[in-house]
Each structure stands twice: as structure tokens, then as C-alpha cells.
Chain A
């Protein structure tokens, strides 16, 4: 069976250049490209938007990556220095409630130590340090609760 030679094959293939999309197709394509761009802008994740805003902010400064990196390093060192300079006030306990020695409640009620939220629990040594000195005068904690719930005999 005879076959096409190279030139004839290319002449046949080039006929495909005469296949054209419907008139006005390319104008409509531009509209569709615009719509696609808008859709993509709405679907973008927040980090991408934030990154773009940061870039847009620095763009007029004509800043190179080295300059930006140096600025970021200074910022990190500054924050670290501030954290080191400010003493950590969260370590000390705020209030300690104790039960007096010799009280008959001591056996039943455990000693309560109030600490700020997030503070480390006291070690045994620290706990010993904050327990009451036996020679010190006895302190009583006056509760906000009424002393007695017994009904009074007094009538008005």
C-alpha cells in the first residue's frame, strides 16, 4: 500500500491550521480569565494574603533580602533582650493558707497552698520553707463565711 512521504504528510497536518474557534471566542476568553483571577483571589489562604501585604509594604523601600534579614535579626534580638531584662514574677506563690499546729483539724484537713495558675508545683523543700514556725504566734484566718449557722434566740 502506498504511503505519504514527509512533504505530503506535513501538507496534510498543516490543514489543521484552518480549524478555528467560533468568532468572538478570544474576547470571551479574556472575560473568563478575569473571572478566574477574581475567584482565585477570593480563595487565597490567609497566610498568602499576609505575605503579599508584607511584600507590598516593603516593596517601595527597595529593600534587599540581606537588609530585610538584618532587620528581622535585630527585631528577634531585641525581643529576646526585653524578655531577659524583665524578671519573672510568676515563680513566687501568692498566698498560703495553713492549719495551726495542734488543731484537731490538722489530721483530717490537708494543708492548702495557693499558687498562680501555670506556676510549677512546690518542691518538698520549698513546701517545708513555707510551713509555719512552731514558735510563731498562732494566726487565724477569718473566713467570709458566718461563724455559726445556729439559729439565734434573739427575737425582734
Chain B
């Protein structure tokens, strides 16, 4: 597989399903490297966004609808994984698109449209979570059956007796609970890096912080999550298998 460095950091194209947004190999080690075909696809997606934004800025409602249709799945994944609540996510998404609709006329293309969009979504959600004093009960989405074919999950099941024995729904609930223990800013970083597979630099642009801050927040959040989810750690016996 040819791996080339990412020329200009950009987001994963939203045309891909949310769960297959980023190749597992890249997530496992090389965060900031993508294949030539991935880069081509990203470039094509970026050009498509530029054309749609230009049309939307002249008042073309169909172009704006196309942007909503194209980017909503990834925005949903970002907001849902931060809130762990479907209803809140639905409200947030409507807020985000309303803000984007009001602000698209002033968007000058200094960053990519998808970066700006994620920035609006992440900041809206962080502000919402900071204001929400009492944590609402979780309202989780259904699990896709594709999880059973997930290569990494199968590998994890093979190595870890607790994971193999755990009920899938219960396990996801515990993962969500562990994420909810994090502060909103740490949750945002974990969601974008670990779940959505965005590179550090892209997260830094979205949250308008330095890459060093992204890395330190990730380090802290991972420490917390490792403690919270230690029950799924492979025992010596199960690792030996």
C-alpha cells in the first residue's frame, strides 16, 4: 500500500459512512498519512464543497441542502459521541445548521468548509455541555450489525475474555458512561481523534488550539478512560490465548 504524507490536512470525506471514516491502519499508527486514493478523494470532496459553498452564497437553496445532506452524518457522529444522547444531538444539529445558514455568506474560505463546519459543531456542543448542569440520561442509538465483522473488534474479542463475555449493548453503554466522565473539551478531542480518526493538526484547527494542547488533552483523557474501562483489559490468561 502506497502511503504518502498528507499534503494539506483535511477532513475525511463525508460521503464515506461515519463508521468507516478513517482506515483502521492509519488509526493504529500513522495518523497523519493517507493513501493516494484517499488523498484524491479528499481533494475531490474539497472541490465539491467549494463549488457548493459558492452556489449557496449566491442564494442557491439546493446547494445548501446538498451541503446538509453531505455533511450531516459526520456532524451527527461528532455531536452524538460528545453528548451520548440522540435527542440532544438532534437539537444541536439543527442549531449548527441554522448558524451555518446565517454565517455562510461571511465564509471567506480561509479554512476548508468542513473544518469550519466541525468548528461550529464542536464549539456549539462544548458550550451546550458546559451549560448543562445536570447530566441527562443517555439516549443511545442502535448498534449496527457490522460491528460483528469489525476486524479490530474480532481481534479484541479473541484476546480479551471480558470483551468476549460482555454483552455488546452493555459494553457500549459502559464506554459511553466512561466518555461522559470526561470534561467537554476532553470529550471533543477523544471523539475527533479516536472515533472519527482526525489527525492532531486538523483537531487543532477545529478547536483553535495548538497541536501540543491536543496531544496533552488526549494523553490525559486516555489515562482516565484506561482506568474507567479497565474491566475490559485482557487478563494474562486471555492474552496468552
B194 touches A2 (CB 8 A): no
Tell me if A134 is interfacial: C-beta within 8 Å of chain B.
Answer: no
Summarize A's interface: helix, strand, loop or mixed: helix
User: Which residues from B are CB-within-8-Å of A22?
Assistant: 141-142
B194 touches A18 (CB 8 A): no
Q: Which residue of A4, A7, A29 contacts B229 across the interface (Cβ within 8 Å)? A: A4
CB under 8 Å from chain B, chain A span 17-73 = 17-22, 25-26, 29-30, 32-33, 36-37, 40
Tell me if B113 is interfacial: C-beta within 8 Å of chain A.
Answer: no
Tell me if A89 is interfacial: C-beta within 8 Å of chain B.
Answer: no
User: Which residues from A are CB-within-8-Å of B21?
Assistant: 17
Count of chain A residues near B, Cβ 8 A: 30
Q: Give the interface segment out of A8-16, A75-83, A96-104, A117-125.
A: A8-16
A111 to B114, CA, bound (A): 81
Chain B positions 10 through 33: 1 when the CB is less than 8 Å from some CB of chain A, otherwise 0: 000000001111001001100000
Chain B positions 125 through 162: 1 when the CB is less than 8 Å from some CB of chain A, otherwise 0: 00000000000000011111011001011011001100
B97 touches A33 (CB 8 A): yes
Q: Which residue of B80, B146, B227, B229 contacts A18 across the interface (Cβ within 8 Å)? A: B146
Chain B positions 193 through 204: 1 when the CB is less than 8 Å from some CB of chain A, otherwise 0: 011000000000
A11 touches B152 (CB 8 A): yes
A10 touches B80 (CB 8 A): no
User: Which residues from B are CB-within-8-Å of A40?
Assistant: 98, 101-102
B68 touches A33 (CB 8 A): yes
B226 touches A4 (CB 8 A): yes
A11 touches B98 (CB 8 A): no
Chain B positions 171 through 195: 1 when the CB is less than 8 Å from some CB of chain A, otherwise 0: 1100110010000000000100011
Instruction: Return B142 CB to nearest CB of chain A, in Å.
Output: 7
